[in-house]
Structure 1
Amino acid sequence: MSVPSSPASSARPPEGFTPTGTIAAHTDRRRVVFATVVGTTVEWYDFFIYAQAAGLVFGALFFAPAGEDFAQIVAFLSVGLSFLFRPLGAFLAGHLGDRYGRRMVLMITLVLMGAATTLVGLLPTYAAIGVAAPILLLFLRILQGISAGGEWGGAVLMAVEHAPKHKRGLFGASPQIGVPLGMLLASGVMAIMTVVAPGDQFLEWGWRVPFLLSIVLILVGHYVRRRVEESPVFAEIAERREHTRMPIVQLFRRHLLLVVIAALVFAGNNAVGYMTTGGYIQGYATNPEGPIGLERGPVLWAAAAASVVWLASTWFAGWVSDRIGRRTTYVIGWIVLLPAIFALFPLVSLASVGTLTLALCLLAVGLGLTYGPQAALYAELFPASIRFSGVSISYAIGAILGGAFAPTIAQAIVQTTGSTTGVTWYLTGMVLLGLIATLLLRDRSGIPLGPDHEAEQAVSPLVGARRG
């Protein structure tokens, strides 16, 4: 017997009863929000400290044989390498998540990411073991990419599928703010280590500490996630035994164009975001032989300050998308990002920590507006039976097209032209691509997410597509 789906029902279920196919209990919702924030913060802390280290030390410690001109490019390439393996993580996690549940996947990805990150902190450098050092570093970065590819889809679906219909944007913003929180934590810990281990000590051992701290964070995240119930949408699918046997095959057979468009939406945001999360601006501003030459510590604190602004704008964007729609919120965000991109390098080039902070904070506002609604937007695009696969693979492809090699491209442009102008136009093009992709999607805010409405969910949300 099915339970009425109205959230306004005054009937109180018996103690210990979990309502299948209905909105989760208020207490469990709060636990889910907390768990997704903590879990994604830990995951992205792990992911971003690698990018920070790539911008600051990995070129010298692991890739020095590439030569002075190319060591830093190779270091940034190692950041992008992990993105190529995100689709593998998304494929695996999507299949497992649609077949066996969101919760199980989240536990696996958390442990995999933490183990890889901790081992990076223990790696000998090139000077100690030669070419084996960069090979092992790249292998661990690949494991991080596989984990990141599977993490995001599970986290956002746990949040959105537990949410009341009119608060999906706000609930979906909870795993999203784990990204700026992870960036804040990574930048803060790295900045502290520049004080604890200044100068050569940072190169010798200081950079390792943030990686080794990951083991503590993983234990905390694992404890929190174990206490969260499975998504009510998946619980209902499991109860009915309506799992899709090959969800990825069904996804590409019926929704390939939608996956591509959704990926392009994220690519525009991700390319701009990886100017900081990918470590490019930090490396550019601290390069002693470059035009700026700022100290590591203040630059890292500037990135941390921008992460706070990014967090606030991401949360606000999720909240406001419940009121004005996901599509409208995105369009506003793209418009805000354009002037921020053109202001970025002129402000950074003033070689002041204050103007650097201002530039990154301006960028963070637009990044939050085009990131906060993403969880709800993606969840509302795909049918329940293949939703994990749809959101994970769209996200992974968008990350490859956007942020994967954005720092490498920026570094190559500057080294080739001697100017940052080309980087500005590259980022502008990515934002315009994201805007166009957004305009190709209908707003489906509030569409029912449960398996009872699979036919409605399967209707294409692309503008111009037949609606039934």
Structure 2
Amino acid sequence: MDHQPAQRLSLRAARRRTAAAMLVGTTLEWYDFFLYGTAAALIFNKQFFPELSPTAGTLAAFSTFAVGFVARPVGGLVFGHFGDRIGRRNTLIVSLLMMGLASTSIGLIPNFDAIGFWAPALLVIARVVQGFGLGGEGAGATLMSMEHAPAGKRNLYAGFPQMGTPAGLVVANIVFLSISALMPTGAFESWGWRIPFLLSIVLVAVGLAIRLRVEESPSFSQVVEEKSVARFPLRDALDAGFARLGLTLCAVLANSAVAYVFMVFTLSYGTKQLDYNKDFLIACVSGAAVVWFVSIPYWTGVADRFGRRRMFVWGSLAILVWCIAFLPMLNTGSVVVAALAFLGMGLIVPVTHSVQGAIIADTFPASVRYSGTSLILQLGAILGGGLAPIISTALVGESGGSAGVTVYLVVMCAISLSGAVALFRRVPEGERDGEAVIAEGRLAGAVD
């Protein structure tokens, strides 16, 4: 009896289950992360920094937001080390637990009026745990999905966890907006904002139930079978060379910076400087994220069929151009023009975001891929996204206008565009994804 069709069906089902589990897990973790960003823009200055001026309070709230990004590289390195040593699956389960418990605890922290200094101190601690957990999520989920991918669909499968970013944003904003709409403004700002954070514990239970059914990555299983588990994965990952690692980092900076300006900073800027309705801005960001979410499979399909390099470069150029127009469009005060500005972001950002995880992961062989990918992803997150709301708020506070923010974004986009062009010229086009390892363990691209 021929069992091959049944085996192929079982393998296909396992691959799809893994991709779905990574998407659901990353959605839940990004829900927690973005929920904090929305609350930092709209609530935390009043709850945890009431003695500061509105601008200073917002800066302080965004500073606690940035603390999570500082913790992300540390979490990425720790989770990356164990992910390369003991496997992807278990580390991803731990990261999901850390994020969920930290977010739930934020909903329980008393405000400044109740416990004084300890309120923002506990908020920072919870945020550090959030960032630490998310630091292990981004790279691990991308690897788990990509390393289960069938031939010719590497970018598509690596893109499923990337979809968790806009999905988490949409879920966070919908929950935040719905609870805000159902409650009187005073009650929501006093205690209702805690409900979305407390819901994290329910979402984590769902995510764990799904992730516990996922099998270990075939690539890592092969590493174990061949007894080639790296003793110090990060050290070996650095063999890629400073030039290649630096260019890869530069290539992904803009996407993170632009995304956090349009997802987080605009909520504060639009309500305080331009008098847009808070609910309207959240709806615009959510709508853009929906477009972002649904377009990722299209772009990863294009990358699998025609190659991702040219697509990434043109996408980087498109982001640069749209950043020139984005804030001036918001400044018109027109809700129609503002909605179009956000829609443009939702269309353009996923061009590069959809494949950047795969581009980074394919820099490293399987034995050190988690550590190397985590390093680049999390450094890019802190240098790009983590600082973007703070820098943007400070620039607006200094000048009273958005021109400085536009210049800042254009500079970040120029750095990424230049980095991508230089990276793709340096690394041979024919290099086989993630497997072109030079003798004695040195990585592809390390030798000129």
Structure 2 residue runs of 5 or longer lacking an equivalent are: none
Contact 2:170 2:289 in 1 (8 A): yes
Superposition deviation, residue 253 in structure 1: 4.5
* Equivalent residue, structure 2, for 1:6: none
Shift of 1:258: 2.6
Separation of aligned partners in 1, 2:148 and 2:3:
18
Give the residue type in structure 1 aligned to 2:405: V
Aligned length: 443
Q: Work out whether residues 125 and 133 of structure 1, in 8 Å CA contact, stay in contact via their aligned partners in 2.
A: yes
Give yes or no for contact 2:233–2:368 (8 Å, CA) kept in 1. yes
Alignment match, 1:225? 211
Q: Does 1:358 align with 2:358?
A: no
Q: Which amino acid aligns with 1:380?
A: D
| Equivalences for residues 266-345 of structure 1 within 5 A | 266-277=252-263, 279-287=264-272, 290=273, 292-345=274-327
| 8 Å CA contact 1:87, 1:397 repeated in 2 | yes
Q: CA deviation at 1:460?
A: 3.6
Identify, as 1 or 2, the structure richer in helix: 2
CA contact (8 A) 1:444 1:461 kept: no
| 1:430–1:294 distance in 2 versus 1, CA, 3 Å | same
1:92 lines up with 2:78 in the alignment:
yes
After superposition, residues 35-434 of structure 1 pair within 5 angstroms as: 35-277=21-263, 279-287=264-272, 290=273, 292-434=274-416
CA apart distance, 1:97? 0.5
Q: Partner letter of residue 332 of structure 1? A: W
Distance in 2, Cα, partners of 1:417 & 1:219: 46
Partners of 1:148 and 1:165 in 2: how far apart? 29
Q: Which residue number in structure 2 is paired with residue 5 of structure 1? A: none
Shift of 1:14: 11
Q: Which amino acid in the other structure matches residue 82 of structure 2?
A: L
Which residue does 1:8 correspond to in 2?
Answer: none
Q: Normalised by the size of structure 1, how large is the TM-score?
A: 0.90
Please tell me whether the aligned partners of residues 315 and 368 of structure 1 are also in contact (alpha carbons under 8 angstroms): no
Q: Which amino acid aligns with 2:76?
A: A
The question of whether the paired residues in 2 share the 8 Å contact of 1:312 and 1:368 is answered with no
CA drift of 1:299 comes to 1.5
Q: CA deviation at 1:348?
A: 1.1
Contact 1:161 1:232 in 2 (8 A): yes
In structure 2, the CA distance between the partners of 1:26 and 1:444, relative to structure 1 (3 Å rule), is farther
Does the 8 Å contact 2:240/2:364 carry over to 1? Answer: no
* Displacement of 1:441: 2.1
> Secondary structure of the equivalent of 2:103?
helix
CA gap 1:357/1:198 in 2 versus in 1, 3 angstroms: farther
The 1:338/1:254 distance shift into structure 2, 3 A limit, reads: closer
Report what 1:455 is aligned to: 438
SS at match of 1:410: helix
Separation in 2, partners of 1:301, 1:322: 32
Unaligned runs of 5+ residues in structure 1 are 1-10
8 Å contact 2:145–2:158 — kept in the other structure?
A: yes
RMSD over aligned Cα atoms: 2.1
Identical columns (%)? 36
How far did residue 304 of structure 1 move? 0.7
Q: In 2 relative to 1, CA 163–445 (structure 1 residues): closer, same or farther, beyond 3 Å?
A: farther
Give the AA of the match of 2:122: L
Q: TM-score, normalised by structure 2?
A: 0.94
